[in-house]
Amino acid sequence: MKNIKNIVYIAALSMMSMGAFAQSISVTAPTIDSAEAKIAAKAAEQGANYSITSAIVKNRVHMTAHLDK
């Protein structure tokens, strides 16, 4: 029983630490390419990988991404 509690405890701690490294960022730019370039630059600055989660195109592009270290 004690081993099961330890496994659950370790799993919970590992999930919390992974969440601590993840963050969302958003940028605004005139084109999709320039918005992605801004996100890529911010990710490189923090030494992280990124995945784009949304992009809204009207007069300008508003893009949101998720950074993972």
Where are the chain's structural domains?
A: 22-69
Q: What is the pTM of this model?
A: 0.68
Indicate the SS3 state at residue 69. coil
Instruction: Please give the distance of CA 1 from its chain centroid, rounded to a whole number.
Output: 36
Is 27 within 8 Å of 38 (Cβ atoms)? yes
DSSP structure string for 5-68: HHHHHHHHHHHHHHHHH-EEEEEEESSHHHHHHHHHHHHHHHT-EEEEEEEEESSSEEEEEEEE
pLDDT tens per residue, range 11-68: 655 655 455 567 999 999 999 999 999 999 999 999 999 999 999 999 999 999 999 9
